[in-house]
Amino acid sequence: MRYTRFDVRPTTGALGAEISGLNLAEPLDDIAFAELNAAWQKYLVLFFRDQQLTPEQHAAFGKRFGKIDPSAYIPTLPEHEDIRIQDIQDSTQIGNDINWHCDNSFREYPQKCSALYAIKVPEGAGDTTWVNMQLAYDLLSPTMRAFLDELTAVHDLVETMGPGILKNFGPERWQAFRDRTPPVEHPVVRTHPETGRKALFVNRLMTSSIKDLSEAESDNLLEFLFRHCDQEELKCRFRWEPGSVAFWDNRCTIHRGIADFYTDRRIMHRVAITDPDRPH
């Protein structure tokens, strides 16, 4: 693909590209959208610098890719419920959320993609990293890929985050969490609806077990997969500045924020788009 509307600079050999020459505050016409979508499918996470977005412009950019996923837990901007606020004043209190994940895989319809916009960034800290889960799949042996292709995983946030809720807030809060977030099942390997490429679809924060295996088999296989995905050769890392935007595909990447900013405040605005299809 030749890009006529912007320049593309790959971030690493695994994934990610910085896009320059595109103002996201302006509506994307069909050519710009087609080129951006092609770059996104190739690089899986796109980075933009020096953007100045109103909440409406931020939401309009996200809506080019689907429907906004309404926020159930995360606070939103007053008057702009499409925009979630991540305002973190003490990164040591984030807890589990810094584990590798894709957004909302504990739901039947996870989030297709997210556009995160930096408002206030600690200097030299608070980077985000991503993993290419298509490459992670491709680098497994054909025998392992064939085995995984047939498996189903359980994604259950209560298994992974529940013990902390029980300890810190007690059994009633734990029960309310259980009632709100039942376990869901997804294939261990999903196929990208637009490119047809297969990707591993498990993550340390939300995947609790693999169906039809013994507990020991499931635990060991998941641990192997989590470690396999945690290789530098599969990753890219982004250093935020105020006005930076990262736009990633949750269907074929996982990510992790680096909580190294301690008491230096970090404020981000996020637009999340729902996956219209269940992973398959």
The residues assigned a catalytic role are: 101, 103, 255, 270
| C-beta closer to ligand SIN: residue 198 or 270 | 270
All residues at 6 or more sequence positions from 94 whose CB lies less than 8 Å from its CB, including other chains: 88, 257, 259
Q: How far is the CB of 134 from ligand SIN (least distance, A)?
A: 19
All residues at 6 or more sequence positions from 246 whose CB lies less than 8 Å from its CB, including other chains: 45, 46, 47, 48, 115, 116, 128, 238, 240
Instruction: Please say whether the beta carbons of 59 and 68 come within 8 A.
Output: yes
| C-beta closer to ligand SIN: residue 51 or 218 | 51
| Near ligand SIN by CB under 6 A: residue from 257, 271, 273, 275 | 257
Q: How far is the CB of 41 from ligand SIN (least distance, A)?
A: 21
Cα 180 from chain centre: 21
| C-beta closer to ligand SIN: residue 82 or 103 | 103
Place of tokens 């950019």: 61
- Nearest residue to the partner ligand SIN, using Cβ: 257
All residues at 6 or more sequence positions from 104 whose CB lies less than 8 Å from its CB, including other chains: 69, 110, 111, 250, 272
| C-beta closer to ligand SIN: residue 40 or 240 | 240
Interface with ligand SIN: number of residues (CB under 6 A) = 7
Q: Between residue 59 and residue 88, which ones bind ligand SIN under the rule CB under 6 A? A: 86
Q: How far is the CB of 211 from ligand SIN (least distance, A)?
A: 26
| Near ligand SIN by CB under 6 A: residue from 104, 128, 160, 181 | 128
> One symbol per residue from 198 to 237: x for binding ligand SIN (CB under 6 A), - otherwise; what is it?
----------------------------------------
Q: Please report how the helices 157-169 and 171-180 are oriented relative to each other, as an axis angle in degrees rounded to 10.
A: 160
Q: How far is the CB of 255 from ligand SIN (least distance, A)?
A: 6
Q: How far is the CB of 149 from ligand SIN (least distance, A)?
A: 27
| C-beta closer to ligand SIN: residue 28 or 246 | 246
| Near ligand SIN by CB under 6 A: residue from 268, 271, 272, 273 | 268
Taking CB under 6 A as the rule, does residue 99 contact ligand SIN? no
Binding site for ligand SIN (CB under 6 A): 86, 97, 103, 128, 255, 257, 268
